[in-house]
Structure 1
Amino acid sequence: MNFHQLVSLTEFLASNGILCLRFTCKGPNLVYRIRAYRAVVEYLKSSKEYKVKSWFLGGRSMGSRAAACIVKQCKDTADEAFVQGLICLSFPLHPAKQHSKLRSEDLLHVRHPILLVSGSADEMCDKNLLESILKIIPVTTRVYWVEGAGHAMEVKGQMTENIMTEINTEVLSWIKKII
């Protein structure tokens, strides 16, 4: 939950008037993360304190896979109208250096705009593979490539703060185009 990308992004979006909820799940188990994500969505829908009319779901790495699964599960349900888009930071398209083990299934079934922010040197998201998959996704997609960044969005010789400013600005701009 306190990973620098998520902290930076949620603080930036909140400072620009966008309510953000950041949470984490212990352990890398995807099924567990999906259940936890679903529980948070259900809480927000029923909350009397927060009158949420629509939302963007997103995450970082495995969290972005969980978010994609939740958006896919909203298809053909009352929840589908709430979803405005999907934001994936460092989407793990495949295990490191294992390009044949794709994890794109949920992305292929999303019916909402998708923003992917990936590092061009991410060993878990081959640029050519992602570009080819995006050609068959039937919704508006945007990939923002951070040149030279790996999975952690770090670039040798550049300050992390500058990279995060670049990413945060791109995410906010994309959200504003959607809403």
Structure 2
Amino acid sequence: MNLKALRSLAGCAAAAGVLCLRFTCKGLNLAYRVRAFQAVVDYLKTLERFSLSNVFLAGRSMGARAAVALGRQLSAADESAVRGLVCVSFPLHPPGQTHTHVKRSEDLRALSRVPVLFVSGTADQMCERKLLERVVEQMKSPSSVHWVEEANHGLAVKGRAEESVLDEVNSQIIAWIQERV
């Protein structure tokens, strides 16, 4: 939760008038993460101060997989429940194990009507560019990909300031969200 990239995105979201709730779930188990994400959503629904509308679920790496899984569940129950999904550094496969992309992309391919934005690095060893582009073509949901040139899974780029990369990523995400609200 206190990763610089998450703090930076939350600050940009707030500056754009977008309420952003961020939390960390340290477990590596996907089902556990999805349940944690669901618990947060359920809790927010109980608060009278907030109404959950125009909800965008987002995550980075394994959190992106959890956001997609929950987004699929919520939108299956109520088509208007999720306005969009933001997947930063979606881990389509472990390094060197590109064959696992079929299993890891099941929730993405099963989505319908929920727009998805992927933000990924061209040097991400957990998300081969051609594989992600193939998955995007197979998806029923409208989706787009913003590629950060030479960025790794952590979106770090050799010879480029971290703030510059964060500015690029944040502006893409905020613009994409604003187009959909």
For normalisation by structure 1, the TM-score amounts to 0.96
Following superposition, the deviation at residue 4 of structure 1 comes to: 2.1
Question: Residue type of the partner of 1:106?
Answer: D
Q: Tell me whether 1:59 sits opposite 2:59 in the alignment.
A: yes
2:126 matches 1:105: no
Deviations 1:131-159 (A, max 9, x none): 01111101210100000000000000000
Residue matched to 1:68: 68
Alignment of 1:1-179 (within 5 A): 1-78=1-78, 80-102=79-101, 103-111=104-112, 112-179=114-181
Aligned partners of 2:171, 2:126: CA distance in 1, in Å?
24
CA displacement, residues 69-122 of structure 1 (integer Å, 9 cap, x when unaligned): 0011123313x3121000000000001121011111111112200000000000
Whole-Å Cα distance in 2 between the matches of residues 151 and 22 of structure 1?
Answer: 20
Q: Which moved more, 1:151-160 or 1:41-50?
A: 41-50
Distance 1:62 1:3 in 2: 15
- Letter paired with 2:108: L
What displacement does 1:52 show?
2.4
Deviation at 1:28, TM superposition (A): 1.1
Amino acid at match of 1:100: H
Measured in 1, the distance between the counterparts of 2:32 and 2:121 equals 26
List alignment gaps of at least 5 residues for structure 2: none
Identity %: 46
SS of structure 1 residue aligned to 2:100: coil
TM-fit CA distance, 1:8: 1.1
Q: Which amino acid letter does the alignment assign opposite residue 107 of structure 1? A: L
Partner amino acid, structure 2, of 1:92: P
Shift of 1:47: 1.2
For this pair of structures, how many residues does the alignment match? 178
Q: Is the contact made by 2:75 and 2:82 (CA closer than 8 Å) also made in structure 1?
A: no
Using the TM superposition, give the Cα deviation of residue 26 of structure 1 relative to its aligned residue in structure 2, in angstroms: 2.1
Using the TM superposition, name which of 119-128 and 28-37 deviates more: 28-37
TM-score (structure 2 length as normaliser):
0.95
| Structure 1 CA distance for aligned equivalents of residues 4 and 126 of structure 2 | 19
Q: Could you tell me which amino acid in structure 2 is paired with residue 125 of structure 1?
A: C
Residue 53 of structure 1: how far off its partner (Å): 1.9
Inter-partner Cα distance in structure 2 for 1:4 and 1:153: 12
